[in-house]
A and B are shown apart, each in its own frame.
Chain A
Amino acid sequence: MQWSGRMTRTLTILGLESSCDDTAAAVVRQTDDEQAQILSSIVFGQTELHSAFGGVVPEIAARAHAEKLDVSVKQALTEAGVGLHDLDAIAVTAGPGLIGGVISGVMCAKGIAAGTGLPLVGVNHLAGHALTPRLTDGVAYPYLMLLVSGGHCQFLIARGPESFTRLGSTIDDAPGEAFDKTARLLGLQQPGGPSVQAEAENGDPNRYRFPRPLLDRPDCNLSFSGLKTALMRMRDQVVGEKGGLTRQDRADLCAGFQAAIVDVLREKTARAIRLYLEENPACPTVAVAGGVAANSAIRAALKQVCADNGARFLAPPLSLCTDNAAMIAYAGLERFKSGARDGMELGARPRWPLDQSSPAMLGSGKKGAKA
């Protein structure tokens, strides 16, 4: 911690993230309550394209994460121009996610904390995403957050670094997964997000009509599983009639599918905004995070629904929407400022819902995947 003559306080946090397909490290700094700065943000291995839509190559091996973590931390510190002695705390994703990866990150963070004497702060991966609008734009609580990615789809009201209310979520597949599976069913390239979007741009969204699941229910829950089944049937029907799919058929199927996703997200977002506005936030803000936010049709629809409801719409840059360690460092920084510290007993939680506490799976006598 640095105290200057004017009694300002600067905090510098190293963040580690290895809960999903990527391994990442970053350094974030904040002076008092000024806008936080990302001094470095390293995402090891995967291309931006892959990570944008949930990744196609899972990194399961805890060993591989461990090796990449060392390299990532070193590079993050070098690019930030800081040494370990300049840090105030180590923040690490402690879940939810693939257990091998989470354990690697937690062990690496514990090692650095033990070696340097720095405090350790465990972070919920989803809280990292949910706090990103504060990292990038200094948004004030409470704001409405839509997390929409390969593995997640939920509406949250963020009230504090550890205080979230879930208004609704997918009851089955996440939209990113629906895009990937649609691409698979139509023989398009993975990841499915960009390839389905590209096809949809040349298609007629009205030729094939797909269901809008759960729109008949008044809540904010979503369902995307039935959409892929409907798409498969439509494909089989066209193939059955004509013996194959033309380019135009494929484009129209993609356009119809994307239109259904957009409609569902638009309508459920409108409902979530109305619930959020009941709280009378001074400056209503709706933010989106997750790789699916890169889809331009979805982004345009969300922007419009925010404008219609008098809320500000915020979409952080894609590199901070997808998995990264800057968000973990920042979420750790907020927890650190609120006085939170974790000891060497910090456990990895494969399941860790944001809006409720659930016990750590490891450290409570339960055995997870090999670490």
Chain B
Amino acid sequence: MLPGPLSLTLHSPEDTADFARNLGALLVPGDCLLLEGEIGAGKTHFARSLIQSLQDMPEDVPSPTFTLVQFYETTAGELWHTDLYRLSALEEITELGLEDAFNTAICLVEWPDRLAELTPAHALRLVFATVPGDLDTRTLSLNWSDPKWTPRLNEVLND
């Protein structure tokens, strides 16, 4: 068993996409990924790769910054891709219906700091960071408290 937290180095956008696909293959409705990191750290690239890997016919995965939420029907069930950057109040998260979705859909949440006390305890937290002087590499640290993630991450990383 792996202990959390865990740190990875992703050497290229393709590396990030591979990791997204491998993790995506293990997701079921009720799973929530919190995607953190500065603008340009690769959150949306990760989400796009994951979503497209769960589609029979890969479709457009636009950035959710403007629309707040994008919904997808995937081979693993309903998936919500949301960007909370533009939100300012907790009621807005309730209005979006996110609290219900945390239990019924696969949720990928960008800028999850806006969730505050609504942050689901069962979520897996992924923090992306750029590496000075290296254009393509990203570091990724994973944090979780729900034990369900431990065997799954083991599987992804031993692949």
User: Which residues of A pack against B, CB within 8 Å?
Assistant: 54, 56-58, 60-62, 96-100, 150-151, 169-174, 176-177, 180-181, 184-185, 225, 228-229, 231-233, 236, 240, 350-351, 353, 361, 366-370
**15 new A-B contacts at CB < 8 Å, known A171-B60, A369-B98:** A58-B86, A60-B87, A96-B67, A151-B66, A173-B44, A173-B62, A174-B66, A176-B66, A177-B65, A232-B130, A233-B135, A366-B78, A367-B97, A369-B69, A370-B95
B9-39 with Cβ < 8 A to chain A: 38-39
Q: Is A60 touching B95 in the complex (CB atoms < 8 A)?
A: yes
CB distance from A264 to the nearest CB of B (A): 16
Q: Is A172 touching B39 in the complex (CB atoms < 8 A)?
A: no
CB distance from A229 to the nearest CB of B (A): 4
Whether A229 touches B40, Cβ cut-off 8 Å, given contacts A60-B95, A151-B67, A369-B69, is yes
Who on chain B is nearest to A149 by CB? B66
In whole angstroms, how far apart are the Cα atoms of A367 and B100 in the complex?
10
Q: Is A60 touching B96 in the complex (CB atoms < 8 A)?
A: yes
Q: Is B69 touching A98 in the complex (CB atoms < 8 A)?
A: yes
User: Which residues of B pack against A, CB within 8 Å?
Assistant: 38-40, 44-45, 48, 60, 62-63, 65-71, 78, 86-87, 91-92, 94-98, 100, 104, 130, 132, 135
Whether A170 touches B62, Cβ cut-off 8 Å, given contacts A98-B69, A232-B40, is yes
Who on chain A is nearest to B13 by CB? A226
Q: Is A350 touching B95 in the complex (CB atoms < 8 A)?
A: no
| A58 partner residues in chain B, CB cutoff 8 A | 68, 86-87, 92
Q: Is B66 touching A228 in the complex (CB atoms < 8 A)?
A: no
CB distance from A40 to the nearest CB of B (A): 27
| A180 partner residues in chain B, CB cutoff 8 A | 65
In whole angstroms, how far apart are the Cα atoms of A134 and B87 in the complex?
36
| A361 partner residues in chain B, CB cutoff 8 A | 71
Who on chain B is nearest to A227 by CB? B40
Q: Is A181 touching B68 in the complex (CB atoms < 8 A)?
A: no
| B39 partner residues in chain A, CB cutoff 8 A | 181, 184-185, 228-229, 232
Q: Is A173 touching B65 in the complex (CB atoms < 8 A)?
A: yes
CB distance from A169 to the nearest CB of B (A): 7
Q: Is A174 touching B63 in the complex (CB atoms < 8 A)?
A: yes
In whole angstroms, how far apart are the Cα atoms of A351 and B98 in the complex?
18
Interface centre among B40, B66, B97 (most CB of A within 10 A): B66
CB distance from A42 to the nearest CB of B (A): 23
CB distance from B95 to the nearest CB of A (A): 5
In whole angstroms, how far apart are the Cα atoms of A47 and B63 in the complex?
24
Who on chain B is nearest to A232 by CB? B40
Q: Is A351 touching B95 in the complex (CB atoms < 8 A)?
A: no
In whole angstroms, how far apart are the Cα atoms of A100 and B93 in the complex?
12
Whether A62 touches B66, Cβ cut-off 8 Å, given contacts A172-B44, A185-B39, A351-B71, is no
B67 partner, pick from A98, A170, A353, beta carbons under 8 A: A98
| A370 partner residues in chain B, CB cutoff 8 A | 94-97, 100
| A228 partner residues in chain B, CB cutoff 8 A | 39-40
Q: Is B97 touching A56 in the complex (CB atoms < 8 A)?
A: no
CB distance from B39 to the nearest CB of A (A): 5
In whole angstroms, how far apart are the Cα atoms of A236 and B41 in the complex?
13
CB distance from A52 to the nearest CB of B (A): 14
In whole angstroms, how far apart are the Cα atoms of A57 and B87 in the complex?
8
CB distance from A214 to the nearest CB of B (A): 14
Q: Is A151 touching B40 in the complex (CB atoms < 8 A)?
A: no
Q: Is B62 touching A174 in the complex (CB atoms < 8 A)?
A: yes
CB distance from A366 to the nearest CB of B (A): 7
In whole angstroms, how far apart are the Cα atoms of A353 and B39 in the complex?
27
| B44 partner residues in chain A, CB cutoff 8 A | 172-173, 225
| A181 partner residues in chain B, CB cutoff 8 A | 39, 65
Who on chain B is nearest to A359 by CB? B73
| A240 partner residues in chain B, CB cutoff 8 A | 132
In whole angstroms, how far apart are the Cα atoms of A351 and B95 in the complex?
18
Question: What are 14 A-B contacts with C-beta separation under 8 Å?
Answer: A58-B68, A58-B92, A60-B68, A60-B87, A60-B95, A151-B66, A172-B63, A177-B65, A181-B65, A229-B39, A231-B40, A350-B69, A367-B104, A368-B97
